[in-house]
Amino acid sequence: MKVNLHEVLRQTLSPGINLTEEEWAIVFNCCKAKTTKRNEILLEKGKISQYLYFVVKGCLRIFLIDEDGQEATRFLIFEGSFGTAFPSFTLRQQSSAAIQSIEPSELLMISHADYQMLLNTMPGWERMTRLGLQQDYIDAIIRIESLITMDAKQRYDILMKKNPKIIQRLPGKFVADYLGISQETLSRLKARRK
């Protein structure tokens, strides 16, 4: 059972990483399994993010809440991806974002201490981390570009093309605040496009 979770992780990582069996065993040993309910909060705003999560099944949402309760989705993490409140996890600072599992999910979690240990003892892990960061950074750049150059409709169309599962699978309010628009605007966008 737990082995299955590990295999999912291994299959996800293996393209970019070359570890010995012993090393894989150490990595697996750093992973705690966790099952969450719909809308369960994994990290509250203001706390320091202690875990890097790997989503085996389900979906995580990293989001911000302002004083008047307005939410904005920083990231959505689906099956086969890692995610956490990255600035908090990395810099050991209070998190401006919260984490919730918006679907019942199966997760693996790696503590910050173990993450650092792996970085310091396993060159293959550092390489994998670098490659992962590289891709995450590129994705962030693309998102920035879409925000500074496109209007809401264009951003919606791109998302539909590049990542339709976000739109198909999640309630519109998450899609809306991921795109940086209001729920009503999203609803009107959908109506407009035919």
Partner DNA sequence: CCTATTTAATGACTTTTGTCAACTTTCGTT
Partner DNA sequence: AACGAAAGTTGACAAAAGTCATTAAATAGG
> CA nearest 64: which of 39, 85, 50?
85
> CA nearest 140: which of 75, 64, 90, 78?
75
Closer to DNA by CB, 111 or 185: give it.
185
Closer to DNA by CB, 38 or 47: give it.
38
Query: Is residue 113 a contact residue for a copy of itself (CB under 8 A)?
Result: no
Q: Rounding to the nearest 10 degrees, give the CA dihedral for residues 53, 58, 34, 131.
A: -20
- For DNA, how many residues bind (rule: CB under 7 A)? 21
- Give exposure, 158-179, as e/b (b: 16+ Cβ within 10 Å): ebeeeeeebbeebeeebbbbbb
Write down the least CB distance from residue 156 to a copy of itself, Å: 14
> CA nearest 181: which of 144, 148, 145, 155?
155
Residues 70-109, interacting with DNA (CB under 7 A): 104
Closer to DNA by CB, 85 or 181: give it.
181
> CA nearest 107: which of 86, 75, 80?
80
Query: Is residue 188 a contact residue for DNA (CB under 7 A)?
Result: yes
Closer to a copy of itself by CB, 38 or 46: give it.
46
Closer to a copy of itself by CB, 90 or 183: give it.
90
Residue 93 DSSP SS3: coil
Residues 168-187, interacting with DNA (CB under 7 A): 171-173, 180-187
Query: Is residue 184 a contact residue for a copy of itself (CB under 8 A)?
Result: no
| H or E, element range at 67 | none
Query: Is residue 35 a contact residue for DNA (CB under 7 A)?
Result: no
Residue ranges binding DNA (CB under 7 A): 37-39, 104, 151-153, 171-173, 180-188, 190-191
